[in-house]
Amino acid sequence: MSKQHIIAATDVASTLEQLLREIEYDRLYVLTDGQTAQLCYPLVAQAVGDAHQITIPAGDDNKHVDSLCHVWSELSAHGATRHSLLINVGGGMVTDLGGFAAATFKRGISCINVPTTLLAMVDAAVGGKTGINLHSLKNEVGAFYPADAVVVSSQFLHTLDAPNLASGFAEMLKHGLISTEEHWAGLMRYDLNSPNLEALQPLIMESIRTKEHIVEQDPKEQHIRKALNLGHTLGHAFETLAMRRGTPCLHGYAVAWGLVGELYLSHVREGFPADKLRQTISFIKEVYGTSPFTCKDYDELFALMQHDKKNVGTEIRFTLLGGIGDIRIDRTATKEEIFEMLDFVREC
Ligand code: GLY
């Protein structure tokens, strides 16, 4: 898998214009969703000129085969060839689905990701995972297909509300925890209550470098890429349960609460230092509040963790830490330890 060209842009239009001069292609297409078509497309419109714009409905519910089919059909009907270029302008839903459309149309065309949410900038748009949901199964069908380039600009962050900013920041926290104390400490100092978006840009780039460094070593998640699952075994269970209850929560909130539990397990099982545990948890409590789950939910959360696609057989697998940057993959825990972890999250 080739390395992605990650470009930090202060002015997204001129960066994209320059990039398009350097890339060879015959026809240009831009994918947006209903929301990014209105809020974000104007920022790239000048750079893409008369490119054909394809729009799919916004929201993860629409990350399915019908939307994908619409993108294929539009590309086909508007003369796309193997040498055409697709630019995905949007959050993770658009970059995942657009990346998969690019991976499969005529067996693969070039694409550029222009992530417009913090979550997509630091996670979905980098690392080459693309895909769609199948029925209620998230990312069930997809391909590893890195974009040719990813243009990252904090200009888009002005279009985000505070909860979506916090949601993306949870993945940044995860990246800090799996890299260095310095990186983690820089994130702990960031004030999400009155965010300075310019000061966020270098932290975003550091976060992307952390992810890139891991993906380069293990693009297909056979070993060290599992580090990126920290907080996600429990986090995905929280997210799915919230969805089932009809009170969905943002992905990053579920991950932040998942980090609380999995750092506790890291402390008990792997000796993760108590002071770093306390500091991280107090940051998470302050920004994300406490998880809305009670002890009545334990069995359902446990069953959801058992069905996590990262498991082997019925054993629940976690990524834990012995310290900041000291990654321990494929750790298992007993039901008793997992319930104790849930008690800890609830009591926090
Ligand atoms: N979102 C985790 C990964 O890209 O592997």
Task: Give the span between the Cα atoms of 192 and 166, in whole angstroms.
Answer: 7
Judged against a pLDDT cut of 80, whether residue 214 lies above it is answered with yes
Residue 23 dihedral angles phi and psi, to the nearest 5°: -95, 140
Cα separation, 177 vs 186, whole angstroms: 11
Q: Cβ-count burial of 218 within 10 angstroms (0-12 exposed, 13-18 middle, 19+ buried)?
A: middle
Output the average pLDDT for the chain.
Answer: 95
Beta bridge partners of 144: 129
* Residues 233 and 333 sit within 8 Å (Cβ to Cβ): no
Ligand 1 neighbour 96 (Cβ under 6 A) = no
* Per-residue model confidence (pLDDT) at position 45: 97
- The residue whose CB lies within 8 Å of the most ligand 1 atoms, and thus the one to mutate among 93, 117, 129, is 129
pLDDT the model gives residue 284: 97
Protein residue with least CA distance to atom 3, ligand 1: 228
Position in ligand 1 atom list of the atom nearest CA 221: 5
CA–CA distance, 249 with 46 (Å, rounded to integer): 35
In angstroms, rounded to a whole number, what is the distance separating the alpha carbons of residues 6 and 54? 24
Ligand 1, atom 2: nearest CA belongs to which residue? 228
Statement: residue 3 has pLDDT above 90: no
Domain 5-159, CATH among 3.40.710.10, 3.20.20.70, 3.40.50.1970, 1.20.1200.10: 3.40.50.1970
pLDDT digits (tens, 9 = 90+) for 282-307: 999 999 999 999 999 999 999 999 98
CA distance 56 to 68: 9
Pick the CATH number of 162-347 from 3.40.50.1820, 1.20.1090.10, 3.40.109.40, 3.30.420.40: 1.20.1090.10
For residue 272, is pLDDT > 70? Answer: yes
**143 pLDDT band (50/70/90 cuts)?**
very high
Three-state DSSP state, 327: strand
Q: At what angle do helices 181-189 and 197-217 cross, to 10 degrees?
A: 150
- List, as one string, the DSSP characters of 3-21: PPEEEE-SSHHHHHHHHHH
For residues 137 and 118, the answer to whether their CB atoms sit within 8 Å is no
Q: Looking at residues 51-66, what average pLDDT do you find?
A: 97
Q: Which helix (H) or strand (E) holds 261?
A: helix 251-270
The residues near 38 (Cβ < 8 Å, ≥ 6 apart) are: none
Dump pLDDT digits (tens) for 25-43.
999 999 999 999 999 999 9
What mean pLDDT is predicted for residues 6-20? Answer: 96
Q: Tell me the average pLDDT across 244-265.
A: 96
Backbone φ and ψ for 144, nearest 5 degrees, come out as -85, 115
Ligand 1 pocket test, pick from 229, 233, 310 with the greatest ligand atom count within 8 Å of Cβ, gives 229
For ligand 1, the distance from its centroid to the CA atom of residue 46, given in whole angstroms, is: 32
225 close to ligand 1 (CB < 6 Angstrom):
yes
| Boundaries of every domain in the chain | 5-159, 162-347
Whether 110 contacts 80, CB under 8 Å: no
**327 Cβ partners below 8 Å, 6+ apart?**
178, 224, 227, 230, 319, 321
Give the list of residues 6+ apart from residue 235 with CB closer than 8 angstroms, or none.
251, 254, 255, 256, 257, 258, 259
Q: Which residues 6+ apart lie within 8 Å of 205 measured at CB?
A: 6, 8, 152
DSSP character at residue 223: S
- Mean pLDDT of the region 221-237: 96
Does residue 332 carry a pLDDT above 60? yes
Q: pLDDT tens for residues 81-119?
A: 999 999 999 999 999 999 999 999 999 999 999 999 999
128 Cβ below 6 A of ligand 1: no
pLDDT for 6 equals 96
